[in-house]
Amino acid sequence: MNLKQRTKGLVEAGLFINRFLQNSPLSEEKQLHDGLQLLIKEAYLQNNWFTEDYVKLALEGISEFLKESELAKIGAESKTGKKILIICAGNIPMVAFHDILCVVLTNNKAIIKLSSDDKILIPFLMKLLVHYEPSFENLVFFAEGLVTDFDAVIATGSNNSALYFEKYFGKYPHIIRKNRTSVAILTGDETKENLRNLGKDIFTYYGLGCRNVTKLLVPKGYSFNLLFESLLDFSDVINNKKYANNYDYYKAIYLLENHQFLDNNFLMIKENDSLFSPVGTLYFQYYLNQSDVTNFIEQNNNKLQCIVGDQYTGYGQSQHPGINDFADNVNTIDFLLSL
């Protein structure tokens, strides 16, 4: 199967996803559409973070990747097909798809070890690829238990799991990803619309992704009134039981330990030097001048996936990466072609 065939199959799968999202299936696709809808419901029952809206948002992002013009940006032929073990994360729906896409697009074999939190949707997507291009069946495999036959590893997890990955896979060519998060740099001159869009960066996927803003840098004396007012549109996050449990748990801790924090009944904003805030909390840190901001970014560069602000990623855009916005800023295609 050459690059042109692989690209054609991927584009067809993307068009199917678009038709699904627009509820306009071709007559022969009706059963596939119904099946995907049932799987979305099943995925939510298995993992209550995976609401139908957020699964469809993730599918929308995948369909953007599967446009011919986008695939052309990263498409390349691998000289020798390698077996690539992909250890998937499960924090947001189908987050491992980009890695799988890079592997199959370069004509390598994807050996996929699914996260227990996301075991339903990715297999469907792989069957979809095979449906439109049967040769993909020779490039996509699912692994259970211990995997020993592979040439390279792409693993995504926490800082703790990264230590395990380094220990067991360090002798192989690898990409091992650790915890990352995103921050927003505010000046106090933001409009209500800016801050409303910032809410998408904070709350999309309930704040569980590495592209979610978990911390603000704000100028000394910053007033949070307009921010709280602008975020009211996102108050329904508290209706998710898992989100509400996190919010209630940390609020109880802050109250018991007499911590200072701001609260609007679905989000707490708290001053803290840490980058990684728990679900239901947004950390902030003051800065005095641009030099403080520059130093902060330099000191935390290896922990930041995205920076939102006037001079950085636009408000509301952190969850809309392009196909060549690689996780951890490590070019997966270059890695695969170097094997």
* 149-195 confidence digits (pLDDT tens): 999 999 998 888 888 899 999 999 999 999 999 999 999 999 999 99
Strand partners, 262: 269
Quote the pLDDT of residue 305: 96
Q: What mean pLDDT do residues 282-296 have?
A: 97
Three-class secondary structure of residue 156 per DSSP: strand
* Residue 38 predicted with pLDDT over 90: yes
Tell me the average pLDDT across 298-321.
96
pLDDT value of residue 160: 87
Does position 292 have pLDDT exceeding 90, yes or no? yes
Is the pLDDT reported for residue 146 higher than 90?
no
**Helices 30-46 and 52-65, packing angle to 10 deg:** 120
CA distance 303 to 38: 37
Nearest to 97 by CA among 156, 145, 53: 156
pLDDT at 95 over 80: yes
Residue 1: pLDDT band with limits 50, 70, 90: confident
Cβ burial 187-224 (10 Å sphere, 16+ → b, else e): eeebeeebbbbbbbbbbbbbbbbbbbbbbbbbbeebeb
pLDDT digits (tens, 9 = 90+) for 187-220: 999 999 999 999 999 999 999 999 999 999 999 9
- Residues 84-93 have a mean pLDDT of 97
Residue of 16, 100, 6, 103 whose CA lies nearest to 59: 16
| 239 pLDDT above the threshold of 70 | yes
Phi/psi for 308 (5° steps) reads -105, 140
Alpha-carbon distance of 46 to 307, in angstroms, equals 32
Look up tokens 């690059």; give the residue: 3
- The confidence band for 79, taking pLDDT boundaries of 50, 70 and 90, is low
Burial class (CB in 10 A: 0-12, 13-18, 19+), 148: exposed
Segment 302-310 mean pLDDT: 96
| Mean pLDDT of the chain, nearest integer | 95
